[in-house]
Amino acid sequence: MEFNLEYLIRDNIKSLAPYSTARHEFTGEASVMLDANENAIGSPVSLDIGNLHEPLNRYPDPLQLELKKQISNIKGVPVENIFCGNGSDEAIDVLMRIFCEPGIDNIIILPPTYGMYSVCAAINNVQVKEVPLTSDYQLDIQAIADAVDDRTKLIFICSPNNPTGNSINRQDIEIVLNNFDGIVVIDEAYINYARQKTFTTQLVDYPNLVVMQTLSKAWGLAALRIGLAFASKEIIGYMNNVKYPYNINEATQKLALQALKNVMQVNEWTKFTIAQRTWLEEALAKLPITEKIYPSDANFLLVKMKQANDVFTYLQSKGIIVRNRSTTKGCEGCLRITVGTEEENKKLIEALENYPG
Ligand SMILES: *Cc1c(COP(=O)(O)O)cnc(C)c1O
């Protein structure tokens, strides 16, 4: 069967008359705006960033055009192929609501992987089919093909994968893209730290491709909540119809615009974090409790440890919080450790060197 977007979209979404805001309907320069029932007098607080002094009484741009232009410049993806969400969580949820008929359709996830895909599916009453990654955390192509049925709408591939840290082989992802007639979502939250290249360059080749990225990791803006999705303009159009009209607030839009000027700074931080990852890897490898450190293309390490649970509790007692994945299928006995600052990483290693167990 051929890829057919219209066939994949839920009927109610295809026929949806989306909410049209006052700001959607008028885009020119206006001096008297009496169209949106805002408070024309002003706001009790305003946005002050650098030279910017902006009151907050007006609704923000529902399609975040200024922000998308800057993202377009940085990522080399046209504006019409970009979706901005209130975190990647929103992109995941919107995709599920566009494509998956509750109680009927299903998605495929590849555990161990990011927890949000299955939580979001559960909330939307969408069945989740799990096809575990292989023992070296790569795609089991045959098992994925076997799991696909005619109600499978989305396959989520996380690369670099959370919590394992590795990138998924590019050729394997391409096999899925070439053979699955539903939507392939590649979650590239950690792409800045990866040796592997992004898939955003291949949107023209694959009409069934959605690439997700985020400003929460390398960009250091987890608190702002901006997730990105890149896809065909048709898919992006549906995502814009389904999202809340003003999903990215004005303060976030303006702060992100300011932040996105700092590409060089972010690149430096990224290099530094990768160097610290190597340092942490070498230091962890010397510890008697370390059994295995998985190769990482992300800003964290998955580490198999003797008595992982006890080590986790011990670290906690020292005020050091890591992620306990020791009971997660495929990650037995493992802790997931984020690469911190130089000082934090040293504290972690010092604590582990003194582990009494
Ligand atoms: C951290 C992370 C995200 C980012 O989520 P946001 O909602 O954008 O903060 C997305 N996917 C994966 C796999 C992650 O680990």
Q: Whose CA is nearest to atom 1 of ligand 1?
A: 189
To test the pocket of ligand 1, the residue of 114, 164, 185 to mutate (highest count of ligand atoms within 8 Å of its CB) is: 114
Looking at the predicted structure, is the pLDDT value of residue 28 above 90? no
Per-residue model confidence as pLDDT tens digits over 178-227: 999 999 999 999 999 999 999 999 999 999 999 999 999 999 999 999 99
Across the range 286-292, mean pLDDT stands at: 97
To test the pocket of ligand 1, the residue of 214, 219, 228 to mutate (highest count of ligand atoms within 8 Å of its CB) is: 214
To test the pocket of ligand 1, the residue of 158, 166, 217 to mutate (highest count of ligand atoms within 8 Å of its CB) is: 217
Per-residue model confidence as pLDDT tens digits over 57-72: 999 999 999 999 999 9
Looking at the predicted structure, is the pLDDT value of residue 26 above 70? no
CB 10 within 8 A of CB 100: yes
Tell me: domain 264-353, CATH 3.90.1150.10, correct? yes
DSSP 93-150: HHHHHHH--TTT-EEEE-SS--THHHHHHHHTT-EEEE----TTS---HHHHHHH--T
CA-215 nearest atom, ligand 1: 8
Q: Whose CA is nearest to atom 12 of ligand 1?
A: 189
Confidence class for position 284, pLDDT limits 50, 70, 90: very high
Looking at the predicted structure, is the pLDDT value of residue 265 above 90? yes
Ligand 1 geometric centre to CA of 216 (Å): 7
Beta-sheet pairing, 183-187 with 46-49 = unpaired
CATH 3.90.1150.10 in the chain: give the residue spans: 264-353
- pLDDT attached to residue 1: 59
Q: Whose CA is nearest to atom 14 of ligand 1?
A: 189
Please report the sign of the dihedral spanned by the C-alpha atoms of residue 156, residue 161, residue 164, residue 170: positive
CA-114 nearest atom, ligand 1: 13
Q: What is the DSSP code (8-state) at residue 201?
A: G
Across the range 46-64, mean pLDDT stands at: 94
Per-residue model confidence as pLDDT tens digits over 315-338: 999 999 999 999 999 999 999 999
Looking at the predicted structure, is the pLDDT value of residue 6 above 70? yes
The rounded distance, in Å, linking the Cα atoms of 333 and 195 is 27
- pLDDT attached to residue 50: 86
CA-216 nearest atom, ligand 1: 9
Ligand 1 geometric centre to CA of 179 (Å): 27
CA-161 nearest atom, ligand 1: 13
Looking at the predicted structure, is the pLDDT value of residue 22 above 90? no
What are the pocket residues of ligand 1 if the criterion is a CB atom closer than 6 Å to any ligand atom?
87-89, 114, 158, 162, 187, 189, 214, 216-217, 222, 227
Mean pLDDT of the chain: 96
Beta-sheet pairing, 152-158 with 106-109 = parallel
Beta partners for residue 355, in sequence order: none
Beta-sheet pairing, 127-130 with 334-338 = unpaired
- pLDDT attached to residue 29: 75
Looking at the predicted structure, is the pLDDT value of residue 27 above 70? no
CATH 3.40.640.10 in the chain: give the residue spans: 21-27+35-261
Looking at the predicted structure, is the pLDDT value of residue 118 above 70? yes
CATH of 21-27+35-261, one of 3.20.20.70, 3.40.640.10, 3.40.50.300, 3.30.70.100: 3.40.640.10
Looking at the predicted structure, is the pLDDT value of residue 147 above 90? yes
Looking at the predicted structure, is the pLDDT value of residue 31 above 90? no
Across the range 260-271, mean pLDDT stands at: 97
- pLDDT attached to residue 194: 98
Across the range 32-48, mean pLDDT stands at: 93
The rounded distance, in Å, linking the Cα atoms of 220 and 272 is 13
